[in-house]
Structure formats: structure tokens, C-alpha cells
Structure 1
Amino acid sequence: MHDPVASADPRYRADPPADDTIARILAGLDGEGRYEAIAVVNREIAAWTTNGVLDGWRASPATPAHIAAALEEFVHAARVLPDWADPARIGAAEAVFVEMSMLSCTLLFCASLPECYVPVDLASVLHTAGQLEQHTDYRVRSTAAMIFPVMLRGGLTAPDGGGVAQVLKVRLIHATIRHLIMRGNPAAVMAGGETGATLAELAPKGPGLHRALYARGWNVPQHGLPINQEELAYTLLTFHYVFLRSLRRLGLGLTAAEEGAYLHGWNVVGHLLGIGEPLLVRDMAAAERLFARLQARGRDAANGGALPYGAPDPRPALANALMRAMQDEIPLRLLKPFPTLLTRYLCGRTNARELGLDGRVSLVSRALFALCMGAVRGIDWLVRRVVPGFSISRLVSRVLGYRLTVKLLMDQTRPLKLPEVLLNGVAQAVQAWHHDPKAPAWMNRLELRLRPDTSSTSRKQG
């Protein structure tokens, strides 16, 4: 792999293998026939629960022949790891995720997801695809539905892991969204050189997400293709680079070898997700450069008129919905602003302002947060000189991450339920994360007292 190059504009490239698969499935269909075929696809890919299931996978007998053939050919080709994938480094990446445990969840909620909303074009698609300011569960749970299977032990390499299967599901969902928004195969538009194509907004013919996407309208010169290569690469960076950068900002940075392994593991995910190799980065310096360039271009889209005249910026609604979801799980009123304040700290002032997270927070809460961050960093630095495993920052992040994981991911009374196989994986991870092996015994006891009681957490199918 090498640093990204600007040989071709990634905004006008998507994922031909996945796009061609969906185009084959939907060819010649319109109206209800289109949505019925998509329902068949969703039913079939729901059976992709583990990597082992993909070996020799065949569609169910009731599946129309052309849909079965398209899906089977896609699975056969797309499930293979790249030849540069290193199982040892993938294992090291999994070890980082497991070792960071609940801290990984805190950084997902307070860094990766907020940064994902900064490019206005991507936020606009996310807004349409889930009305996410009203249904934050969708974004949180669908994101977790990929991260956990990918990063848990054996997620990418073991037959009983679920990472490859989950990534391929996401890849076809992306292709379906692109096909609906573009009202056909995106590659057909670009092959004709029609970069000036603009699809007018239509009145949705009935309720539902798929009809809303089809009627949405799209301006290719301003937006590029929906969920294009650049946006896919940027999203991947929020999962590995932003995570590693956040650890550094919390004073919990990893070694260069650990950071490189984590980037490598996610690069394998990027390959499976259909991201071209030039947009995969192998070290933090290259990741920082690419992230800055892509985020600047995504930010400039808003200032350059990417939003239709008079349309509201979707980013503040998305970000504030995420903050409210976290605040709802914090019992003390004084501490409720902490997720917003932590997001500001991890993502920076500019991003916080564009996400609408720069609103007024009580002076007491701000002072308490600043005092806590300063004291924690200072105490951690001092005590770790004598007790290497000591970290108050780690303790606080684990407690917050535990609460958010239990309440936002494992509670099956929420509208979007996790598949049972994934829920079991998350539950097993939570059980394994009860004890921090790097912390002194008294800190583990304190953490246990601060965590919410999971015995009452509902996992019933609501």
C-alpha cells in the first residue's frame, strides 16, 4: 500500500462489484417490483451470520434465480481477504480493541461518530437514510453491528467470527442506497461521462426508507456519487485514525507497532468494504494527512453551496441527537454535559462549531470537566511512573463506555434490535471486560461500584 494519490477523483467512483450486483438484481424492475426485490435481498443477507456461512453459500430455494445468482457470485468473490492481509497484525488489532474494551465504546460515541458527520454530503445521505436526528439508535446500533463483529477475536479470520459477513452486508446496503438515489447503476451514469447529471427531487410514492431515497434527488457535480470512495475512506478513518488520535489526546497512546497493527486490521475491513487500495493508509502520519484533506473538502462543500438553497444543515441535528442519547444515560444533571464536552475535546473547536456542539454549557459543568481532565492527566502521568497500569482516565472512560454499551446497544426494548448472534457477541465482550487487567485491584473494585447493574438490563425482544 502507499499514500493516497490524486490520479482520479474518488468522489466519482463508488464500488462497481457491489453496484453491479444490485443492478443485476433490480434490472427491469420498477415500482413495487423494485422494493420487493430489495426485500428478498435483505432476507437473504440476514442469513450471513458468520464467516463460515459464506463458504459455499447458496440462496434459499424460494429466491428468484437471477437474484440468487447475483448474490452467490458476489459472496464468492468478495469474501476473500486481500493477499497482503497479515493474520498476526489482525490479531494484534483485535487485542488492542479487546484490551481497550469499554474505552473503545466511549470513543465511538464521542469521537468517531461525531467526526463522521462533519462532511456535509455524507451527513446529508445519513440524514435521509435514517432520519437520524429522530432515530439515533439506527446509526449507533448499525455502526456497532459492524465494529463489534470485525474487532472481536477472530472476527476477520475465524469461521465462527462474524466480521467478513457483516461487512459484506454493509457493502450491499451501501450499493442499494446508491442505486436508489441514482435511480440506476451509478457506474452507468459515470461511464457516459454525465458528471453534470442532476436528478430532480420527486414526491415519494408511499412511505418507507427506500421510497424516500428514490425520490430524494441528487446533484452529481456538487456531491459526487452517493457513498463514494472518498466518503467510504473518510468513514474508515473515523474508525481507526480518530480512535488512535483520541487515545493520544487522552494520554493513552499506543506504541507505533500497535497503532500500525490497528490501522492494518481496519485496512483489511476497508478492502472488504470495497475501498480502493490507494485510499488505505499504513501509518498515522499518512492517516493524518488524508483525514485532514478529506475533512477539509467535506467541510468546504457546505460553504460552497452543496446544500440546496434554504435547506438546513443536517449536521447539528445529527450530532445533538447523539449527544442527547448519551446524556439520557447519565443520572447526575451536573454530569450530563460531559459527553458534549468530551466530544469537543476530542474533535476540536472547529468541528464542534460545525456540528452545533458549541452551545452554552453551565460554568460549573465546564469547570468540573476541565478540572477533571487536567487533574486526571496530571495524576495519571505522575502515578504511572511508579504504577504502570494506573489510569484514572481509563477508569472513567471504561465506566462511561460500559453504561453506553449496556443501555444503547444491549437493551432490546429499543426500536432497532441487534441480531441475536451479534447481541450474544456484545454480551460476551461485556462480560470479558468486567475486569481491567492493567488496573490495581482497588480501581477494579471502584469501577464495579460505579457501573450500572446489568442484571436488570432487558434483552427481551420488545
Structure 2
Amino acid sequence: MAAFTEASMNALRHTGDELADATVATLFERGEVGKFNTLMRYVSTAGAPLPDGLPDVAREYLEATGAPPAWVDWGEMERARLFFIDNNVHIATALSFASMPACYLVPHVAKLLSASHGLAYPSKRMAETGQFTVHLMQPDAFEAGSRFIPAAQKVRLLHASIRHHLKREDRWDADALGTPICQEDMIGGQMFFSMLVLDSLHRLGIHMSEEGADAYYYAWRVVGAMLGVDQEAVPGSLDEARQFLDLYMLRHMGPSAEGVHLTRQLIDLYEEVVPGTLFDPIVSALIRHLVGDTCADWLQVPRTSWDTLVKAVPHLLGVMETIEDRSPLAAWALDRVGHLTTFLELSSLTRGRVMHYAVPEQLRKEYDVSGAVPRTRRWVPPSATVAGRPTD
């Protein structure tokens, strides 16, 4: 089992993504960013011919990153897809009410997120995350005609462009924070969307097999590789993921004005999605239930009358899962409801738009930083690995 220490984590703070960074730097040097963004709006499916006039450096990047890693186990990816189908609503809930708030609990990440997407369209990042995950879990995600690979290629360039801006404009304290969107933070993000999602499903009382949990985590390792994350530095198992995530959060989590602001936007967004106002408090209550009182207080998540009621959710979901297990018809119906719920939620978030993940030509001016998976053994999250910060 790999050992993650303060020293090993510090080393990850000084590395970005060499291929994407070089591509973006060349695009900016040659003044080709606008042309790239315009032409890339037409590149939305894998295997489609690249448009004429695309800058050479961009064409080389897209050709080099247009296929998944050679080491992918396709049987494991199929198990991950079936796990997603079986749990799509629960996964969407975990992404919305645990993974995104967790990002806001890391002050330098919250500050960066507040700088890199428009506050006038606060659902943009949630829509991007939702679409990205849905594209990933399609049966043809890595085949010609899929939308996942182009989305991954664009997100990787988006991250590189943010690094480029912050470094070029001297708006990032590299001595204190290392490289913006560094390997440690990218691995941390991979943990938020994999390990933390599984933790949240367990907290909601969802029955997961060990095979299903392992496969879902594996799928995000494939995603991370395609986003430029060094998989040699990534936890190889859920036990190692627990160790990394514990240490990462102990190193960085805390309150921040940006974290509070982004959380307020998230709550407002989902209160708009929920019909009427009667059930609005359940949004705050779910966040508080999934991230815990200390973190919720840091994010200034309101306490509501639903805080106690929401603790009954695992019992309700347990009853639904028992019905699903015993009745093929009920399983089919609940899966269809899950599919429709996810679809309607995404439609609301995107307002009917397709997320294009364009390379930003500038950042906000005010920013400154100095079939179900077989249910064999039920998965239980690995225990916490640290009570305090480990030493070397």
C-alpha cells in the first residue's frame, strides 16, 4: 500500500500537465485561442473529422489524446457503467450535495473556482460535471460518435488555460500554493468525484457491492488519466484513496469567503430546481447531512427543520432497494425514474445548452491570489486513516 506523507503531497503541488500546458501556451503565443474556440464548437463527438483551419498544435494535441489509455480493463468499465445505471440518482445526489461542497471546503480551490466561471451562470460548473459524468457512463463512451472523449480533451485544456493565465498575470502565489490546478489538487478532485461519492452513497444507506464500488472508482482512474492526472501518483485502491483523501482534506480544508459564496449559489440553484418552496430546506439539510456539521458551518449552510428528518432518508432508500431487489419490474421502473430524474435535472441545469468547455481568454478581473452489478459482499468505506497530520 502506497504511503502518502506531507513530503509526497508537497511534491505533487509543483507539477501541472506538461502536454496540455505546452499546447495552451503555444495557442496563446500565436494568438490562435479565438480561432481554436470557434472551431472546437464543431468538435463534439469522438471520431469526427477535425475541422479545417484548426491550429496545428491543437490538432496534434487532439490526435495524441483521442483514445483512452492502453491499460483500460473494459470488463471493469462495463461493471462501472452498470453500477452507474443502478445508482444514477444517488450518484447525482452525492455529486451535487457532497462533491461540489467539498471542493468549496478547500479555500484555494474555492477561490480559483470563483475566478474561472461566470457568477451570472452559477449552474455552469454543475451542468458541466453532470454532463461529463453522463457522457462517461454511456455504453459507447470510448467509441466513435461518443461525446465523452472530446469533453475530456476540452476540460484538460481548460485547466491548462487557467494555469496559464494565473502564472502569466502573476495572480497566483506559487511559493505558498505551488502550481495552480496542480497534481495534488487534480488527484483531490478525482477523490471528490469517486471516493467521496461512494462515502456519500454509504451514508445515504445505498447497498453497494464491493465489485461495484471498485469498478466505479476504477472508472474515475481512467477519467483522471484522460484529464492529465499522473496515475502513478494516484491511489490504486479504495483503501489507499481513503488515506490520500484524509490527508488532503487535513492539509487544506477550512472556511473561506469564496467557499461560502459558492455554497450559497449552489443552494439557491437547487432550491430553484425543486418545485415550490415547501421542500427548499431539504437542499441545505442534505448538504449538512453529507458533509457533516463542522464543514457545513464553515460553508454557512443554514440549519433547518429538515436536518433531523433528512436522517430518515437512508431508511426510506433501504425500503426502496429491498423492493427493487425482490421485483424485476420494480427494478426496471425505479431505474427508469432514475434516468428521467437525472435527465430532467441536467435539462434544468444546462437550460437546454450543450457545455463546450471553451478556453477562457481572460479570467475575472477582481480575482487575485497572492443491469445491476451483482450484489455479493456489501461495500463498507475504509476507516479513517489519520487522527492528525502524519509526519515523514
TM above 0.5, yes or no, is yes
Residue 349 of structure 1 aligns with an amino acid whose one-letter code is D
Specify the code of the residue in structure 2 equivalent to 1:79. G
Q: Match of 1:178?
A: 163
Q: Counterpart amino acid of 1:290? A: F
Task: Work out the CA distance in 1 between the residues paired with 2:344 and 2:372.
Answer: 19
Equivalent residue, structure 1, for 2:189? 235
Which residue is 1:129 aligned to? Answer: 116
5 Å-filtered alignment, 1:157-168, equals 157-168=142-153
How much has 1:121 moved relative to structure 2? 0.8
Per-residue deviation, 1:407: 2.2
Match of 1:45 among 19, 30, 40: 40
Whole-angstrom CA distance in 1 between matches of 2:190 and 2:62: 22
Query: How far off is 1:101 after superposition?
Result: 2.6
SS at match of 1:83: coil
**Root-mean-square deviation over aligned CA pairs:** 3.0
Q: Max radius of gyration: which structure?
A: 1
1:84 aligned to which of 71, 78, 82: 71
Instruction: Find the aligned partners of 1:181 and 1:159 in 2 and give their Cα distance.
Output: 35
| 69 and 159 in structure 1: CA distance in 2 versus 1, 3 angstrom threshold | same
Aligned mate of 2:294, from 345, 350, 358: 350
TM-score calculated relative to the size of structure 1 = 0.69
| Residue equivalent to 1:223 | 177
Partner in structure 1 of residue 313 of structure 2: 373
| Amino acid aligned to 1:314 | E
Offset, 1:418: 1.5
Partner Cα distance (1:332, 1:236) in 2? 34
What secondary structure is seen at the aligned counterpart in 2 of 1:154? coil
Does the 8 Å contact 2:235/2:241 carry over to 1?
yes
Pick from 380, 387, 408: which aligns with 2:349?
Answer: 408
Give the counterpart of 1:282 among 214, 222, 236: 236
Q: Secondary structure at the match of 2:123?
A: helix
Gap runs ≥5 in structure 2: 357-370, 374-392
Which AA in structure 2 matches 1:135?
A: Y
Give the TM-score taking structure 2 as reference length. Answer: 0.80
- Which has the larger displacement, 165-174 or 324-333? 324-333
Q: 1:369: Cα distance to partner?
A: 2.9
Runs of 4+ in 1 over 6 A off after TM superposition: 388-391
User: Which AA in structure 2 matches 1:273?
Assistant: L
Q: Where do residues 198-347 of structure 1 align in structure 2 (5 Å cutoff)?
A: 199=170, 217-299=171-253, 313-347=257-291
CA gap 1:76/1:4 in 2 versus in 1, 3 angstroms = farther
Letter in 1 for 2:14: Y
C-alpha separation in 2, matches of 1:272 and 1:386: 35
Q: Provide the secondary structure at the position in 2 that maps to 1:335.
A: coil
Deviation at 1:276, TM superposition (A): 0.5
SS of the aligned residue for 1:135 comes to coil
| TM-aligned CA distance change 1:52 to 1:246, over 3 Å | same
Task: Tell me how far apart the structure 2 counterparts of residues 26 and 437 of structure 1 sit (CA, whole Å).
Answer: 47
- In structure 2, what is the equivalent of residue 360 of structure 1? 303
Residue of structure 2 in register with 1:139 after alignment: 125
Check whether the contact 2:13–2:183 (CA below 8 A) recurs between aligned residues: yes
Alignment of 1:419-438 (within 5 A): none
SS in structure 2 of the partner of residue 296 of structure 1: helix
- Does the 8 Å CA contact 1:182/1:218 hold for their aligned counterparts? yes
Kept in 1, the 8 Å contact 2:131–2:346? The answer is no
- Equivalence for 1:25: 27
Q: What are the Cα deviations for residues 407-434 of structure 1, in whole angstroms up to 9, with x where unaligned? A: 224x32xxxx2259xxxxxxxxxxxxxx
1:69 and 1:375, CA in 2 relative to 1: closer, same or farther beyond 3 A?
Answer: closer
Contact 1:3 1:281 in 2 (8 A): no
1:366 is displaced (CA, Å) by 3.4
Shift of 1:139: 1.2
Q: State the SS of the aligned residue for 1:75.
A: helix
When residues 44 and 297 of structure 1 are mapped into structure 2, their CA distance, relative to the original with a 3 A threshold, is farther
Instruction: Map Cα deviations across residues 51-76 of structure 1 (whole Å, 9 max, x no partner).
Output: 212xxx54523x4xxxx221122122
Cα drift, residue 368 of structure 1: 3.5
1:145 CA displacement: 3.2
Match status 1:94 vs 2:94 = no
- Deviation string, structure 1 residues 277-303 (Cα, Å, up to 9, x no partner): 133233222111111111222216x6x
User: What amino acid does structure 1 have at the position aligned with 2:20?
Assistant: A
Letter in 2 for 1:51: A
Q: Contact 1:50 / 1:163 at 8 angstroms: preserved in 2?
A: yes
Q: Does 1:106 align with 2:42?
A: no
> Take 1:333 and 1:404, find their aligned partners in 2: how far apart are those partners?
17
- C-alpha distance in 2, partners of 1:403/1:335? 18
- If asked which structure has higher relative contact order (CA below 8 Å, sep 6+), I would say 2
Match of 1:14 in 2: 16
- Residue 388 of structure 1: how far off its partner (Å): 7.3
3-state DSSP of counterpart to 2:253: helix
Q: Distance in 2 between matches of 1:222 and 1:25?
A: 28
1:104-155 superposed Cα distances (whole Å, 9 cap, x missing partner): 32222112211122111111111011144x4212111222232221222221
- How many residues get paired? 352
Write the letter of the residue equivalent to 2:19: P
1:433-455 Cα distance to aligned partner (Å, 9 max, x none): xxx999xxxxxxxxxxxxxxxxx
SS in 2 for 1:51: coil
Identity of aligned residues (%): 23
Query: 1: distance between equivalents of 2:319 and 2:216?
Result: 28
The 1-side partners of 2:325 and 2:44 are apart by 46
